[in-house]
Amino acid sequence: PMVRAPLMARLKALESAHWRAEPTFPAATPGEIAPITMPHDLSAVVGTRRDATAEEIDAAFARAAQIQPGWDALGGEKRALLLEEAADLFEAHTDEFLSLCQREAGKTLLDAVLELREAVDFLRYYAEGARQRFGQPTILPGPTGEENSLSLHGRGVFATISPWNFPLAIFTGMAAAALAAGNSVIAKPAEQTPLIAALAVRLCHEAGIPPEALQLLPGAGAVGQMITADPRLAGVAFTGSTETAQAINRTLAGRDGPIATLIAETGGQNAMIVDSSALPEQVVRDVLGSAFQSAGQRCSALRVLYLQDDIADQMLEMIRGGFEALIIGDPARFSTDVGPVIDPDAQARLERHVARCLASERKVTRLPLPPGIAQGCFVAPTIVELGSIRDLSREHFGPVLHVARFRASELGQVIDDINATGYGLTLGLHSRIAETRRFVQARARVGNFYVNRNQIGAVVESQPFGGEGLSGTGPKAGGPHYLTRFATERVMTIDTTAAGGNASLLAAG
């Protein structure tokens, strides 16, 4: 039998690999080439990205439009088999994906493992959805005396525009759903993380998904803008900032052509409420995990912790104790809890926010950064005390936890303030009182409500994920209604009576 080195050694060996991302069908005149560097060491180059040109985008649409009817006609069962084959290949390339998640995206080993698992889960879950819903037409009941049947089909060419914070899971999830539903896909990964996407696309093609049905177009905002402005586009699945989703919405609305579908999963201003019945050890674990795992770079992450006033001092002291034990540094080290943020822009935005908090004399606690990390985009994990969630005007995407206090009589007001942010993604509650849980659930306008646990890490199928309002359009990713938003419905009516029911009515008239 082949002897394999232990995982950490295999990952180490992959550190010298040079990766490339370029359009699936490269044209003769290439676009701009940009280096991709490691977030935790900007002097280390992981690979290169070659941006799609206008000519390549145009040609990609032509190919995608041409293949789509055939891809749709293939049917759900055959598409499912191809997606499942891709899932197997992803698992067979675990080492490469883990290495890229660490080096290109700055993920810890734990986050990298979870990311791959989620991508594979999405492939298998949407494959099963394709099998169940994109196979036989549904016969519709009713009094017409005819045979009425409804079938689901792809809408046409779908664009997927995906974020750097889940460069594998969300990239794969959106593309897999669009493909499962019978669309051809033009995939534009985040400019920071095209290498993971390029590997994912290569494996999908190896699995047998036609390269015209899934095309990669790397690039930054300008490439995304050209894709979304194309009148051949039938829909966009987007995950990223609320502002970008609003800009895409305007672009789609300004085009002549089919009315495009927009499925958007965007930001949050996620709170957790802890009342005095909560178990402190659980609260410490779940607050630290929700706020600082993935360096706070999850749209589900905890941003504002509300502590009931009578336990607030003691709880905050315990949270600080756990906080001080967090290990910050190189994500390739097994023991690291908090890695870097994605890039220097993100780092600068977070530092400006913390500087403003200090200037307005809020109480700020920061962890010291370890030595030897000056080349990386590290932001010291930070706790800021606030009056309420109203003191924040926007989402701060990183390892900054805000803490506010409330009196038991103010619980309704706290929820109203959370709702008034306009976001509605995740909400956490730690309470042993069933009536409090019912009260919060009835009043909060939020997509995912987590009780007595952390509020990140939604699992495909069991915890369909997504928000409302400024947090997105729904339907929830990894849930039972997601695929149908990528599809169009067609009804066929056959007059099955020999003489023809309507014909004889007309004749009588």
The nearer residue to ligand UN1, 176 or 411, going by C-beta atoms, is 176
Residue 72's Cβ-side half-sphere holds a number of Cα atoms within 13 Å equal to: 24
Cβ atoms of 327 and 295 closer than 8 Å: no
Among 172, 239, 431, 473, binds ligand UN1 (CB under 6 A): 239
CB 423, min distance to ligand UN1, A:
13
Cα separation values, 356 from 201, 454, 498, Å: 42, 28, 79
Q: Can you say how many angstroms the Cα of residue 467 is from the centroid of all Cα atoms in its chain? A: 12
Q: Specify the stretch interacting with ligand UN1 by CB under 6 A; choose among 71-79, 297-305, 323-331, 338-346.
A: 297-305
Using the contact rule CB under 6 A, the part of the chain among 159-167, 180-188, 190-198, 482-490 near ligand UN1 is 159-167
* Interface pick for ligand UN1 out of 90, 166, 378, 482 (rule CB under 6 A): 166
Binding mask 327-366 for ligand UN1 (x = CB under 6 A): ----------------------------------------
456 belongs to the binding site for ligand UN1 (CB under 6 A):
yes
Choice between 355 and 459, CB closer to ligand UN1: 459
Written as one letter, the residue type at 463 is Q
Q: How far is the CB of 477 from ligand UN1 (least distance, A)?
A: 8
Distances (CA, A) of 360 to 302, 353, 357: 22, 11, 5
How many angstroms separate the CA atoms of 466 and 177, rounded? Answer: 15
Among 299, 357, 389, 440, binds ligand UN1 (CB under 6 A): 299
- Of the pair 8, 459, the CB lying nearest ligand UN1 is at 459
**266 is a site residue for ligand UN1 (CB under 6 A):** no
- Minimum gap (Å) between residue 190 Cβ and ligand UN1: 11
Q: Are 500 and 194 in contact (CB under 8 A)?
A: no
Nearer to ligand UN1, 423 or 465 (CB): 465
Listed residue (499, 505, 491, 506) closest to 142, CA to CA:
491
Report, in Å, the least distance between residue 456 CB and ligand UN1.
Answer: 4
Quote the least distance from Cβ 108 to ligand UN1, whole Å.
14
d(CA 230, CA 212): 17
In this complex, which beta carbon is closest to ligand UN1, that of residue 102 or of residue 300? 300
Kindly determine how many residues on this chain lie close enough to bind ligand UN1 according to the rule CB under 6 A. Answer: 11
- Find the catalytic residue in 299, 357, 385, 395: 299
171 binds ligand UN1 (CB under 6 A): no
Shortest distance in whole angstroms from residue 454 CB to ligand UN1: 9
Determine the interface stretch with ligand UN1 among 161-169, 279-287, 331-339, 346-354 (rule: CB under 6 A): 161-169
Q: Which x/- pattern, by CB under 6 A, does the window 459-478 give for ligand UN1?
A: ------x-------------
| Annotated catalytic residue within 85, 104, 212, 265 | 265
Binding of ligand UN1 at residue 165 (CB under 6 A)? Answer: yes
299 is catalytic: yes
- Cα→Cα distances 311→55, 324, 382, 415, Å: 62, 20, 21, 19
Q: Which of 300, 336, 421, 431 binds ligand UN1 (CB under 6 A)?
A: 300
**Contacts with 216 (C-beta within 8 Å, 6 or more apart), sequence order:** 21, 22, 23, 24, 187, 189, 194, 197, 198, 201
Q: Report the nearest approach of ligand UN1 to the CB of residue 338 (Å).
A: 16
- Residues 194 to 223 in contact with ligand UN1, rule: CB under 6 A: none
As a whole number of angstroms, the distance between CA 236 and CA 222 comes to: 16
Q: How far apart are the first and last CA of the chain?
A: 82
Shortest CB 66 distance to ligand UN1, Å: 33
How buried is residue 128: exposed, middle or buried, by Cβ count under 10 Å (0-12/13-18/19+)? middle
Q: What one-character-per-residue DSSP string does 173-225 give?
A: HHHHHHHHTT-EEEEE--TT-HHHHHHHHHHHHHTT--TTTEEE---SHHHHH
Task: Using the minimum distance from each CB to ligand UN1, give the nearer residue, 120 or 458.
Answer: 458
**DSSP string across 238-249:** EES-HHHHHHHH
Count of residues making up the chain? 509
Q: Establish if 53 lies at the interface with ligand UN1 (CB under 6 A).
A: no
Strand, helix or coil for residue 383: strand
| Dist. CA 342–CA 347, nearest whole Å | 8
Indicate if 265 belongs to the active site: yes
C-alpha distance from residue 267 to each of 352, 369, 477 (Å): 19, 27, 15
Binding range to ligand UN1, per CB under 6 A, among 183-191, 205-213, 273-281, 454-462: 454-462
CB neighbours (10 Å) of residue 119? 27
Q: Are 323 and 315 in contact (CB under 8 A)?
A: no
Q: Computed over its alpha carbons, how large is the radius of gyration of the chain?
A: 25
Which of residues 296, 457, 474, 479 is near ligand UN1 by CB under 6 A? 457
Output the smallest distance, CB 473 to ligand UN1, in A.
Answer: 14
Which positions touch ligand UN1 (CB under 6 A)?
163, 165-166, 239, 298-300, 456-458, 465
**Which residue numbers are catalytic?**
265, 299
